[in-house]
Amino acid sequence: MLRVVALRTQPLCSKGADSLEECKKLEFNNKVEVLVPCISHLFKHVCTSQDASCVAKIVTNVNSHACKTESQKVLVASVRAALISHGSTLDPVLLDSVIDSVLDDLSEASHPVLVCSYRALASFAYLDHQQVGRHKDAVLDALMRGIEKYDPEYQEVALEAMTGLGLLLPQLPHNSLAPIIIPLSITLKPFFEKEMVTLRCKALQVFGQLTTFHISSEKESLREQLLGNLVCFLMYINETNSEVSNSGNK
C-alpha cells in the first residue's frame, strides 16, 4: 500500500520516491516506531502538493482500504496519523473523513494500531479551531477511554492518549471542560506511581494543566484532588530522576 501511495506522488514530487526508497531499508516487524518517520516524511510532501485530486484519491483509498493483516492495519493507522499531522494543508472535508475513520476504528483496534491512532488524535490539537470544534467531544471521549483502558503490557497506548489530552485541553474553552475535570483527575491518579517514567511524567503534567483552568464550579472539588495527592507531589519534587522532579514541580 505504501508503494502505491508513493508511486502516485511521484509526478507531484520526487521526494515521495525518495521517501519510498528510505522505507525499503527499514525492517518493519510490526514496530510502529519504525514506520512513523518514513510515512510522516512521505505524506508531508503528499499533503503540500498542488494536485488536490490526487490527495483526495489517496485519502479515499486509505479510508476504504480493507485490511486483512495486522501489518496493513498498522500501516493504514500510520498513514491516517500522518494525514492529520499535516492536516492544515488538507481540504477540511477530506480531513473530517480521516478523523472520523480514526475514531470509528478505535473500538476494534489492536494495541499497535491504537498507538498510531492516539498519535493521530494528538495531532488533532494543532488543527484550526473550526476543525477542533467539530470533533472535540468525540476526540476528548476517545482520549479519555485510551487512558481508562490502561493495559500494563502496552503502556504506550495510555501514553499517547495522555499526550493527546495534554495538547488538546489548552485549546478548548475552559468552561467546556467542567464535566471532565474531576473524572480526569481521578483517572490520572494511579499513573503517578507507574514505573514507566515517561508515563508518570505525562500524568503529572496533565494534572498540572487541570489546576490552571479557572472553572469556578469545579474549584473546590479540584482543590480536594490536589490536597489528596499532595504527599505524592512532594515526594516527586525530591525525585532523583530530574524529569519526574520537574514534572512534580509544575
Span 52-99, pLDDT tens digits: 677 788 788 887 877 778 877 888 888 888 888 887 778 888 899 999
pLDDT digits (tens, 9 = 90+) for 167-213: 998 888 877 787 888 888 888 888 888 888 899 889 988 888 887 77
Residue 98 · residue 83 · CB < 8 Å: yes
CA dihedral (150, 133, 129, 250) in degrees, to 10, reads -40
What is the C-alpha separation between 205 and 249, in angstroms, rounded?
9
The per-residue pLDDT for range 86-141, each reduced to its tens digit, is 877 788 888 999 999 999 989 878 888 898 899 889 888 888 888 888 999 999 99
Q: Helix, strand, or coil here: 49?
A: coil
Cell of 82: 500522518
Which CA distances in Å does 1 have to 29, 72, 144, 245? 16, 8, 31, 44
Percent of the residues in the chain that have a pLDDT greater than 90, as a whole number = 14
Q: Does residue 116 contact residue 36 with C-beta atoms inside 8 Å?
A: yes
